[in-house]
Amino acid sequence: MKDDKSVSISKRMEELEEKMNWFKGDEFTLDEAAERYAEVEKMAGEIEEILMEMQNSVELIQKRFD
């Protein structure tokens, strides 16, 4: 996944889901699982950070109109 902030949250979620589906697929191997898990965990953390930033922005906007 790109670190570029211009990549939409929807696109990031799609990429994460694709990577997570590997764990359910026929190509799953224990040898690769730990490495792929670390990658998925990192992606999920990045998405969580973006969502938190979005939430903070929405809260600031709400405060302006209260």
> What is the mean pLDDT of the segment spanning 11-20?
95
Give the pLDDT confidence score for residue 66 in this predicted structure: 83
Q: Flag whether pLDDT at 36 surpasses 70.
A: yes
> What is the mean pLDDT of the segment spanning 30-43?
95
**Distance linking the first and last C-alpha atoms of the chain:** 38
pTM recorded for the entire structure: 0.74
> What is the mean pLDDT of the segment spanning 33-39?
95
Taken as a whole, the chain contains a residue count of 66
With bands split at pLDDT 50, 70 and 90, how would you rate the model's confidence at 1? very low
- Residue 22 falls inside a structural domain: yes
Per residue, the 3-state secondary structure of the chain, as one string, reads CCCCCCCCHHHHHHHHHHHHHHHHCCCCCHHHHHHHHHHHHHHHHHHHHHHHHHHHHHHHHHHHHC
- Residue 3 falls inside a structural domain: no
- Residue 42 falls inside a structural domain: yes
d(CA 52, CA 28): 32
Number of domains in the chain: 1
